[in-house]
Every structure is written in C-alpha cells, then in structure tokens.
A and B are shown apart, each in its own frame.
Chain A
Amino acid sequence: MNPVEFGQIAVNAVLLSGILALVALGFSLVWGIMNIVNLSHGAFVVLGAYLTFYLHELVGLDPFITIPIGMVVLFLVGFVVQRVLINQVIRAPLLATFLLTFGLEILIVNLVNYFFKADLRSVTTRYTGAGLSLGPLRIPYIRLAALFISFALVAVTAVFLRATRPGRAIRATGMDIDAARLTGVKVAQIYALTFAIGTSLAGAAGSLLSMIVPFDPNLGGTYTQRAFVICVLGGLGDVGNVILGAILYAFVDVFVGARLPEMSQAFTFGVLVLLLILRPQGIAGKKFYA
C-alpha cells in the first residue's frame, strides 16, 4: 500500500464515518433507552433513500432539500410504529421485541420491493461527480456535505437530549422508568418520541446515502448490522461513544474492505465476537444515556 493509496483510504474512512454515526445514533438511542435492538432500523434507512429518490425524480426537488421532508415523514412513521406496535410488547422477554422488529423489517423491505421494484437506483444531480482535489487525494463534494450534515444532526440530537425538557425526559426514562413516571413523564409518549427520533435520523442517513451509493430495497440490512457493531464497539451510553464507534468501524471496514473484500464480514464479526467476550460493555460504554 503506497502512501497515496493509504491517504485516500483514510479520507474515505473519515467521509464514511459521518453517515455511520448518524445511522448508529438512532439505533443506539432506541437500544440504550428502551432496551430494544431495532432490527427494522435499516428498513427506515431504505425508506429515507426512496423518499429522496422519488421527490427528486418526480417533483424535481434538490436531494438535499428532501432531507428535512424525509425526516418529518419518518418521524411520524416511527412514532406510530412504537405507539401502536412495539409499546404493546415492550415489557415482554427480549425475544419478543427482537422478533417484532424483525417482522417489521421483512414487511417494510418487501413492500418497498413490491412497489418500487428491486432495480438498483441512484440519485444523480449536476454536482454528483464534482469534488475537491487535495494533491493526489479526491474528496467528492457530496460526501463532504454528507459528513457535515451528519455531524450537524448528531450534534443537534446531543443538544436536544441534554438541554430540552423532552430530551431530559427521554434520558430520565432510560435511567429509571419508575422514577421518571413519578415525576410526571408519560412513558408511552416518551418511548414513541425516542423511536421516532431514531427513525428520523435513519431517514436522514438514507437520504444522504441515496446520493452517494446506488441502492436497492436490501440496502438496509447491512446498515442495521453496522449500527449494531458500532454500538458494541463504542458502547451504549452517550453520543460521544457512538461517534467513537463509528470512526473506529469506518477505518476497520474501509481498510479490511480494501485488502480482503470477500472476507470483510467474517472479519468484522470475528472482531465483534472477540470484543463482546473480552469487553461486553464496549470500549467506553456505560449503560444509559446519563
């Protein structure tokens, strides 16, 4: 590996880490607050990607303008899903929520497949190919913008969780549900809000991804897995852990992908199992978003 190649791979890893952090943050929030491993998380990424694609193709909106629209739509979808479905079984043994979200994932992905077909789609604009050249290194503008938007959204979420009443209510519920209830927090609503934030962040990530990679309805599954690995790497607990996990994961993924593309998943999972056994709480993890 020569220095230029190394540099380009490192740049790619940094550019990738933004979207990964965005996907993983929603996943981590839902997991940390409600103890739900949301296997349908990737399906919401897919919904975001298709929303951007169709708003761009049919209405002619700039893909970046579609991001807030997609986030609002997915916020509502997520709120309803949690309120109507997941809240019903949330206190059942773990397998229940696990399988419920799995059923949801199959359902959403197959419906997307049915209505939008399995063709590979991509969003192309005037500025798709354009990029910045730093000596021999290339940085596409869209990826750079995606990186900034991702980290901006991550920062907004972090501030929301820390400094607003609903944000504090979410964290309080995650710490001690009974104490939160005693102080007047409406737990069912807060759970729905938490899930809705998760899906809306997933939707934003999907919108960004649709501009960067060609996608089909099966895009989501890999992102659910990645979000999981990132959460394990960084540990649950707070937004900083997610960012740390995303950056670590991006580097491992990009470097292994460049060397041994066929074995990347086996490798990732090998590392994951090892890490889980040696340090089950993640590298810097605590239990909740305290």
Chain B
Amino acid sequence: MPEQRPTLRQWIGLTVTGLVLIGMLILPGYQSPYDLLTYTRFLVLALMAQGWNLIGGFTGYAAFGNVGFFGVGAYTTGLLMLSKWHVPFFPALFSGAVLAGLIAVLIGLPVLRLKGHYFAIATLGVAEAFRQIADTWDSVTQGSTGIDLPVRTDGEFFYYSALAFVVLGILVTIALKRSKIGYAWVAIRGDQEAAKMLGINTTAMKVLAFAFSAVFAAIAGGLTAYQNIHVTPGDFFQLEYTLQMIIATIIGGTGTILGPVLGAGVYQLLSTYVWTRFLELHPTVLGFIIIVFIIFLPRGLMPVLTGSIDVLRGRRRFRWQALLANVRAHRVT
C-alpha cells in the first residue's frame, strides 16, 4: 500500500486538534472551580451531541427523544451506586450505557420504521413517557422526589472523565465513519430505498445508529448525575437537553467528525455569555440562534472553517454570496 501523505488541510486539523487537546489537559490548573464546571458542561454537551450526530447527522433521522437515554443513564448509574452492592462509579456508568443501548434497540425496532416527522414526534413521545415512568415508579425511582447520589466534589475528576469520553467519542466517530457502517448510514440518509437495493440491512444499521447515540447520551447522563448529586425526573428528562444536543450538532455541522464538539463549544460559550448578561431572555436568544443557523448555515460551521482554509490558501475566492447559498437553493418564490 503506498504511503498516504496527509494533505495540508489534515495537517492544520491535526495541529489545531492537538493544541486544543493540550490546552484542555492543562486547563484545570488555571481555572476557578466554577469555570471548570462550565468547561465540564461543555464536554458533557459535546458527548451528547456526538451521539446525536450518529443518528441525526449521519443517518439523517431527526431523533427528538435522546434525553430519554440521558435520563436512563443517570438513573441507572445512580441506582446502582445506591443499591446494596454499592457498585463503583465507572461500572455503574457502563451498565447504564449498556442498558440505554438495549432499550434503544427495543424502541428503535418499531419506531425507526417511521419516517420524517412521525419518527421525530414518536421519539419525543418516548422521552416524555420515560419521564412519566420515572415520575410514577415510586418503589424504584422514588418518584418526583428523586434520588441522591454519593457526594463527590472533586471537579477535576468530572472534567477529566468527560474529556476522556469526548476524545474516545471522536475516535469512535472516526472509526465508524470510515467503516462500512458509516457508509451505510450516509447511504440511508441519501436514499433509504436505494440503500436497501444495494444490500444494506437498513433496519439493523438504523437501530445500530440509534443504540450508539443512546450509549453516548447515557454516559453523559451518568456523569451529570454523579456531578449534580440530586437526580429528579423533571431535571433529567427535560426536553432542553435534547434541544441542546441538536443545536450543538447543527451549529458545528451535522455528519462531520469534529462538528458536534465545535458546536458544543460555541453553544456553551454563547449560552454562558447570554446567561450572565440577559438571564431572562436566554431562551429567546437560543431560539434566535436556531433560526439564524437554520436559514443561513444549515450545514454548520465546519464547512465554513474548511472553506476558509481554502480561501486562505488562495484556492477559492471569498464570496459573501456563499452565505445566501442556502436560501437561494431552498426558498420558494
């Protein structure tokens, strides 16, 4: 096999990723505990967005219920740690992830037969049903009172755990994207019938994407549960988490490897800024960001970044009309 030399674009990508990673590794030494919490939030969001990207980005299924798996991860982790076996954190976390994956397979088999809007709303409903189950199943989940996990106040532990999972998530995404599975997902997004004709087992592939996304969400849920200590159905099944992961993925770029992480960073930055300046208008600004991105940059920031590298190298000229390309292509007159 001839040796493949990385292109300049890949070099830039690798260098930037490496620098960011080193920066993230030494960061806790320079931050207040509160800022560290914000960075941990960003990493947890990145993790959720990476998961959503697999089903929503690569496979093109608009899943609106991933918070359900976030909650399942949180509750399983918490309940196992509190159980009479006193399961340590990481085994509990992995059990939660496995359970969420299994539930995703069971739910995915019927629900992934639905298309488009129907799939979106059905997943929305599934997540809502999860919340009600957690709310009513008093004997296990203690209902709306919620459960309290063992206390651990070590902020760096959560930060480094989340960072490790995000890096792992990037590696998993790269591996999946380059495997047959990744190509199958993209084929399904393009044309499901055609993919089936090519001999792709579309049902299995869709369920796999859904299960993977559930595993990511469950790990994020378990981490958040351990850090927040108090877990209630109202907090851990709120639609806002689903929204955040979708918005982060869209800001960054759906179906890209680093997009969800980049998007999570931008979202967290914007969100923190807006929180501190205009607390009460926070959702308004969020809604506004969604609208602006959907209209002008539905493919997110990643294509803009790679595009600007080309512009800098003189391969392409900068044309501001590019910003209106989406509107030009999709408007109705």
Contact = CB atoms under 8 A, between A and B. Distances in A.
A263 B132 contact: yes
Interface string A209-235: 000000000000000010010001000
Contact of A265 (B128, B283, B295, B329): B128
B124 to A, nearest CB: 8
Interface in B130-166: 132-133, 135-136
29 contacts: A37-B117, A89-B295, A90-B330, A92-B326, A94-B116, A94-B117, A95-B56, A95-B60, A98-B62, A98-B120, A103-B286, A103-B288, A103-B289, A105-B287, A106-B283, A106-B286, A106-B290, A188-B333, A262-B132, A262-B135, A263-B136, A266-B133, A268-B125, A269-B125, A269-B129, A276-B122, A277-B113, A280-B114, A280-B118
B interface: dominant SS:
helix
B139 to A, nearest CB: 15
Contacts, number: 133
Nearest to B247: A99
Given A102-B290, A106-B290, A110-B284, A88 B330 contact: yes
Given A99-B290, A103-B288, A232-B118, 20 more contacts: A89-B326, A89-B330, A91-B330, A92-B298, A94-B62, A95-B56, A102-B243, A103-B289, A104-B287, A107-B284, A107-B287, A110-B284, A110-B287, A113-B280, A187-B333, A228-B121, A266-B129, A269-B122, A276-B118, A276-B122
A231 to B, nearest CB: 10
Contacts of A276: 114, 118, 122
B331 A91 contact: yes
- Max chain A Cβ within 10 angstroms of own Cβ: one of B250, B282, B284, B329: B284
Contacts of B295: 85, 88-89, 100
Contacts of B8: none
Nearest to B121: A228
Interface string A77-102: 00000000101111111111011101
A270 interface: yes
Nearest to A100: B294
Interface residues of B, number: 46
Nearest to B115: A280
Interface string A30-70: 01000001000000000000000000000000000000000
Contacts of A31: 117
Nearest to B246: A99
Nearest to B57: A95
A169 B165 CA distance: 54
B171 interface: no
Interface string B284-308: 1011111100110010000000000
Contacts of B286: 103, 106
Interface in A133-186: none
Contacts of B113: 277
Contacts of B167: none
B128 A269 contact: yes
Nearest to A34: B332
B168 interface: no
A111 B116 CA distance: 29
Contacts of A92: 298, 326, 329-330
Contacts of A191: 332
Contacts of B125: 265, 268-269, 272-273
Nearest to B116: A94
Contacts of B326: 89, 92
A109 interface: yes
A273 B111 contact: yes
B110 interface: yes
A114 interface: yes
B327 A265 contact: no
Enumerate the 5 nearest inter-chain pairs by beta-carbon distance, A residue then B residue, closest first.
Answer: A269-B125, A103-B290, A107-B287, A106-B287, A110-B283
B281 interface: yes
A88 B327 contact: yes
Contacts of B280: 113-114
